[in-house]
Amino acid sequence: MSTIIFYEVEDWEVDYLQKNFSAGTCIYSKQKAHEETNEQCYQASIISTFIYSELTREFLSKFPHLKLIATRSTGYDHIDLDYCREKGITVSNVPSYGAHTVAEHTFALILAISRKLIETIDRSRRGDYSLNGLTGFDLAGKTIGIIGTGKIGEKIIKLARAFEMKVLVVTRHSEELQGMEEVQAVSLDKLIAHSDIVTLHLPYTKETHHIINRENIKNFKKGSILVNTARGALIETQAILEGLNSDILSAAGLDVVEEECTLKEERELLTVEFLKKCDITTQLLNHVLLTRDDVLFTSHNGFNSHESVIQILDVTLDNIKQFENGNTQHTIS
């Protein structure tokens, strides 16, 4: 049986992991891997880390029996892949997680806006049961514009069709949409101009920076809704403000904003390490969008379901068990 060391584990992760391995086969540590000083640990054949462990050539060379690195993350730029290839060390990751979770959260925002849920609940709590100003609108028959059709975008399409919405998408993979009723691949300009609701599901890159900006916000359909549960910098903050102030946008549903700390992946938000480097409260305290009644903000909680965070551990565990059985999956190197 291989000796496995899990670094950068939170208490709740240890509780879950211990249920999946026999006693004595695993070591659990809250510290980063590169802070390891116990030479006995260097005999491990499998190590699992999160993104804050610096798995350099110098560090990895201390593990003469290392066969597998199972990172509990999508990203893997903390690992020296060249060294791993030289030494025949397999590296596996968690390619994606929380697709259902984020898609459902996106529609939670949309429904909260379309049915004026926050206003209705607030008014009822104050003992005011009048319905004046609380008239919402049906999603059925409306057009939703989905920018990006990766794993989350695919789920959004399915949910939108369940609500009997028409769907426009901006995608590089239009062939995958063939045969889908009421789903059409279009240009970004056409999507913006014809969608009642626009939602973003893209990674943040140089190419996607401010894909929604002060110029194209002017071309949105009058009274439309803008939703972002992906990355804050996909949208220029001033564009949201100008859209709302000019009544081009009737509302915005945001799980992310541009001024958030740099985030590699959502799982960071549940770690002590991220809280040390980023005071989110200070970052967002004076954000101009947060006090507006026409903005619904959920503070980057869209990924945070029990199923989503457990999925990361389950995929990692399966990566390890498959490797021990002579198979590999989700391999980087």
CB crowding 133-170: b at 16 or more within 10 Å, else e: eeeeeebeebbbbbbbbbebbbbbbebbbebebbbbbb
The Cα-based distances of 154 to 40, 319, 333 in angstroms read 46, 25, 28
Closest CA to 167 of 159, 315, 84: 159
300 is catalytic: yes
Q: Which two tokens stand for residue 290?
A: 């947060």
The catalytically annotated residue of 260, 267, 268, 330 is 260
Distance CA 323, CA 139 (A): 46
Amino acid at 331: T
Q: Where does the chain have alpha helices with state H? A: 11-18, 57-60, 81-87, 99-114, 117-125, 151-162, 188-194, 237-245, 272-277, 280-285, 306-324
Total Cβ atoms within 10 A of residue 309: 21
The catalytically annotated residue of 72, 105, 201, 231 is 231
Distance CA 183, CA 194 (A): 13
Distance CA 331, CA 255 (A): 31
Distance CA 169, CA 153 (A): 9
Query: Contact, 92 vs 331, CB < 8 A?
Result: yes
Query: Contact, 192 vs 145, CB < 8 A?
Result: yes
Q: What residues are annotated to the active site?
A: 231, 260, 300
